[in-house]
Structure 1
Amino acid sequence: MTEEQKPSGRTHHRFIILALITILLALSSGDRATLSIAGPHMSQALGITPVELGWMFSAFAWAYVLAQIPAGWITDRLGAKQTILVGLILWSLVTFLMSGVGWLTYPFLTMLILRFLLGAFESPVGPAAGRIIAAWFPSSERGIAGAIFNSAQYVSLVLFTPLMGFLDHRFGWEHIFGVMGVLGFLLALTWAVSYYPPARHPKLGAAELDYMRAGGALVDLGAGSPSATEAHGPRWSDLVELFKSRMLVGIFLAQYGITSITWFFVSWFPSYLVKERGLSILDASLIATIPAIFGFVGGVVTGVFSDWLLKRSGSLSVARKTPITIGLVMTVLIIGCNYTNSTFLITALMSAAFFGKGFGSLGWTVVADTAPKEVIGLTGGVFNAIGNTAGIVTPVAIGYILATTGSFNGALVYVGLHGLMAALCYWVIVGRIERLVIRKGVGLIRAAPLIAE
């Protein structure tokens, strides 16, 4: 890339867009985690059992998983801006309505329904973000872009967990849902006036657009002149083709393991600190931010490291799989919490495991690297659907482990082993990482790589 082709220091709108989708994921992660903070006091007030609370956690994931493929199809058909705007307004409304379940005769059933709707309306975030990263970032910057975006889940815990803990402590659990719903409405307004696809962005300079295009960014996605595939949406045959790719299947399965760890932290972790370690909900919400900070650091550092490896090695496989493996092996440290009663050591082990989880979470970067450009949203939907199946299984499994054993020891072993499973998927199943393309009458084939292998 010549100096003339590089954007000036004043034209970095792609990073403004990255900040916007990172905030979007942070809020959606905060909204799905509201129940983890409100859960202990809400359960006491409404007589909800641990198993029922596990099903309430799981209700979100059922809808989130079932809606991922339709959400991916809609995103490819309508574009990211419209799909996200509608979803954001609707899930914020649902979050706000949760503040009133204590006034109803059947609060458990009502929360199941509202959590299900929350999952359905949040489902476009992942597919849309995968499409946005592929459109706005060249291959050499997707590592850091995907890592920063993925770090939003940790930003969410750092920002929103203390806020929700304070609201619960000072005003009551109901106010957690009300405040988070209002924040969603404000972000919807910001999204409506701020997001544009690259080719239609009113402030994006020609130099930056050319730099992005030359580096492999799919800048014409959503530009107003869609291809036949985009105009009519993906076909069912495209969905079938995705599962014929061993590389994509391995990526999908690995995401299940990674997301199992995520769901422990966004569902049962505060309850672990309160019930197993005897902390108050306010103290637990504050301590829970420490592993989240380490997860955020790991999530950002891995992007820098991965892009550095890409420049040094010229291999997407080396650049993506190396940090993924290092990070996921570190997550096993969570099991060490079973062998100490020290709050300091527990916090340290959780922080190390969460750093590893962040360092190993390059899944969205890999999707942006590999998905056929015509069905990036659909591929992201399948990726997120299979990954978040863990959100159905993990909260309920932990609920039953607690009901059976009365302890979190088995739960921590269950969670920790999923990190090893994910690392093995990348080495045993995925193979070489590279872009796939759709050829009519042929199906998926591997494209000539932009980066030499």
Structure 2
Amino acid sequence: MRKNIINDLESKPTGKRWFILFLVCAITFINYLDRANLSVAAPFISKEFMLDPAKMGLIFSALSWSYTVMQIPSGWFLDRLGPRLVYGVALCGWSAFTGIVAFTFNFTSMIFCRLGLGFFEAPAFPANGRIVTTWFPSKERGSAIGAYTASEYVGLALCTPILTWLLVTFGWRVIFIVTGILGLLFAFIWFTHYNDPAHSKGINKEELELIKEGGGLSDTVSEQKKITKKEIKYLFTSRQLWGMYIGGFAITAILFFFMTWFPSYLVNEKNMAILKVGIYGALPYLAAIAGVLVAGKWSDWMISRELGLGLSRKLPVIVGLLLSSVIMVANYTTNVNVVITFMSISFFGQGMASAISWALLSEIAPKDLVGLCGGTYNFVANMGGALSPAIVGYLISRTGSYSSALVFVSCMALIGALSYIFIIGKPKRIIIPN
């Protein structure tokens, strides 16, 4: 009897993929903590360095300049070297630049640090997509991507109250020292605990078969494969991918408004005290977490009911982007509770769209180019992150209020929804012809 129980346990798939997902979620949490910590400190930095909204907009955007430029090279490195090395080095690098922000003294030094942060953060989401595509069968992939996408918003949600407390208690420079050290600690954990399934300890053949038979890659994609010009060209000419690129641009533009200008919006436009911002400001981020989890479960439920890849992966994104477009309603009320409600609805929708866009990409990316395809997607999408904070800063400087900025964010959401509806078409795995 005991022998049968042991044999049954041994024949069941192990759960190593869930531990890997935990690591990815933790690092994604740190990634967004390090991106958004500046937004909490911004009102104090702008006052100390005497920076107007236009200059703060450039500082907010600087991360995305280098982040965007490095997306395609990051994807190439991931396909050649694998995520263990590339992700680990990236985490060390961006954590170091986060800590260095504490020693900045003017506009130029701040720009330099944000450029360095963006340079090293570039491999993060292509690596996340590649890891989940490698470790998870298709039926679990939406939930897995939803989990690590939710981690970004957990970082943003906790960022606001905890970092606000650090700022008030110890000053804004301590925020960057603490978050930088946290990243370096997790870099050590990553190097000592991650590997691809075929080379990982603690995984049995049943889990490997579950991954492979369910559409996961299971084994590492050949890292010595030569990537041709034709393959790269195809990534920029595919209608499916361009539909995703435009949608991704819109999704990221919305995200970066919340990551950069949102706390300043509450302080300067709604005259909130900084400690009150720490409480109210966390609510939309919590709503985004709910959006990510709802979208992931909903999408996987539709997949399990065989409702089709197009409906299962596209509908949550379209609904999410349409919900995001309601942000401009905040222009028509002075009631803070109503403002936060519409901000929360908008960010809930952004969370829905963000989670499933990566799930859809994992379903259609060429199998031998998952890292490069993720890098290309992130390259175009993060142009939205590069432009959005600067455009918002310009609009605020030009008009003296945030009203036009909210209209801009709303328009981005509608453009993204239209792209998913009319451009992507019926999604399917891309096979590049010989």
Shift of 1:68: 0.3
Q: Report the RMSD for the aligned CA atoms in angstroms.
A: 1.7
Alignment match, 1:429: 423
Alignment of 1:122-133 (within 5 A): 122-133=121-132
Offset of residue 97 of structure 1: 0.7
Alignment of 1:186-205 (within 5 A): 186-205=185-204
Q: Counterpart of 1:393? A: 387
Asked if the contact 2:13–2:210 (Cα under 8 Å) also holds between the matched residues in 1, the reply is: no
Distance 1:183 1:8, change over 3 A: farther
Report which stretch shifted further, 33-42 or 268-277: 33-42
After superposition, give the CA deviation of every residue in 1:184-224 in whole Å (9 maximum; x if it has no partner).
111101111111101111001211111111111001125xx
The 5 Å alignment of 1:74-89 reads: 74-89=77-92
1:18 to 18, 21, 24: 21
Question: Equivalent residue of 2:216, what SS?
Answer: coil
Change (3 A) 1:383 1:82: same
User: Does the CA contact (< 8 Å) of 1:234 and 1:374 recur in 2?
Assistant: no
1:27 matched to 2:20? The reply is no
SS, match of residue 151 in structure 1: helix
Q: Which residue of 2 aligns with 1:297?
A: 290
What's the CA shift string for 1:29-60, capped at 9, x where partnerless? Answer: 11111211111101111212211111001111
Listed as ranges, the matches of 1:104-143 within 5 Å are 107-143=106-142
Residues 1:402 and 2:405 are matched in the alignment:
no
Cα deviation, residue 232, structure 1: 4.3
Q: How far apart, in 1, do the equivalents of 2:82 and 2:101 lie?
A: 29
| Aligned partner (choices 50, 53, 59) of residue 53 of structure 2 | 50
TM-score of the aligned structures, taking structure 1 as reference length: 0.91
Deviations 1:62-109 (A, max 9, x none): 00000000000001100001001111111111111110113xxxx110
Aligned to 1:325: 318
Aligned residue pairs, count: 427
Contact 1:76 1:233 in 2 (8 A): no
**Which position in structure 1 is the counterpart of 2:93?**
90
Could you tell which deviates more after superposition, 11-20 or 257-266?
A: 11-20
SS in structure 1 at match of 2:215: coil
CA shift, 1:233, in A, is 4.9
Please give the per-residue CA displacement for 1:349-382, whole angstroms capped at 9, x wherever unaligned. 1111111111222111111111111111110001
Q: Flag the 1:411–1:139 CA change in 2: closer, same or farther, 3 A.
A: same
Going from structure 1 to structure 2, the CA distance change for 1:10 and 1:146 (only over 3 Å counts) comes to: same
Paired AA for residue 150 in structure 1:
T
Flag as ranges the 4+ runs of structure 1 deviating above 4 A: 4-10
Amino acid paired to 1:161 = T
For 1:196, what is the secondary structure of its paired residue?
Answer: coil
Residue 286 of structure 1, CA deviation: 2.2
- Name the CA distance, whole Å, in 2 between partners of 1:240 and 1:197: 28
Q: Residues 274-312 of structure 1, C-alpha deviation per residue, up to 9 Å, x if partnerless?
A: 000111222212211111111101101111100111122
Indicate the residue corresponding to 1:450 in structure 2.
Answer: none
Contact 1:96 1:180 (C-alpha < 8 Å) held by counterparts: yes
Unaligned segments of structure 2, at least 5 residues = 1-6
Name the aligned partner's letter for residue 86 of structure 2.
T
Match for residue 152 of structure 2? 153
What's the % identity of the aligned pairs?
37
Deviation per residue, 1:98-144 (Å, 9 max, x gap)? 10113xxxx11011111111101000001111111110111111111
Cα distance change on mapping 1:115 and 1:6 into 2, 3 Å: farther
Structure 2 SS opposite 1:313:
coil
The answer to whether the 8 A contact 2:12-2:206 is kept is: no
- After TM superposition, the structure 1 = structure 2 runs for residues 184-333 of structure 1, keeping only pairs within 5 Å, are 184-221=183-220, 226=222, 230-333=223-326
TM-score between both structures, scaled by the size of structure 2: 0.95
Distance in 2 of aligned mates of 1:161 and 1:200:
39
Gaps of 5+ in 1: 443-453
The question of 1:418 aligning with 2:421 is answered no
Give secondary structure in 1 for the equivalent of 2:60.
helix
Match of 1:448 in 2: none
* Counterpart selection for 1:337 from 330, 348, 352: 330
Q: Which residue of 2 aligns with 1:68?
A: 71
The 8 Å contact of residues 99 and 177 in structure 2, kept in 1 or not, is answered as yes
1:133 alignment partner, SS class: helix
1:437 is displaced (CA, Å) by 2.3
Secondary structure of the residue that 2:428 maps to in structure 1?
Answer: coil
1:22 CA displacement: 1.5
State whether residues 5 and 207 of structure 1, in contact with CA within 8 Å, keep that contact through their aligned partners in structure 2.
no
Change (3 A) 1:9 1:235: same
Q: Which residue of 1 aligns with 2:4?
A: none
The match for 1:354 is 347
Pick which of 419-428 and 157-166 moved more: 157-166
Task: Report the AA paired with residue 219 of structure 1.
Answer: S
Partners of 2:160 and 2:183 in 1: how far apart? Answer: 16
Matched to 1:180, the amino acid is: T
C-alpha distance in 1, partners of 2:416/2:228? 29
Pick from 359, 377, 381: which aligns with 1:383?
377
Equivalent position amino acid for 2:245 in 1: F
Distance across 1 between alignment mates of 2:297 and 2:8: 22
Q: AA paired with 1:56?
A: I
Distance in structure 1 (CA, Å) of the matches to 2:229 and 2:101: 36
SS in 1 for 2:427: coil
Q: Which amino acid aligns with 1:337?
A: A
CA contact under 8 A between 1:150 and 1:364: conserved in structure 2?
no
Larger mean Cα displacement after TM superposition, 73-82 or 306-315: 306-315
- Say which is worse superposed, 129-138 or 156-165, in terms of deviation: 156-165
201 and 399 in structure 1: CA distance in 2 versus 1, 3 angstrom threshold: same
Alpha-carbon deviations, 1:229-257, whole Å to 9, x = none? x3045333321111221001111111001
Tell me, in whole angstroms, the C-alpha distance in 2 between the residues paired with 1:80 and 1:233: 18
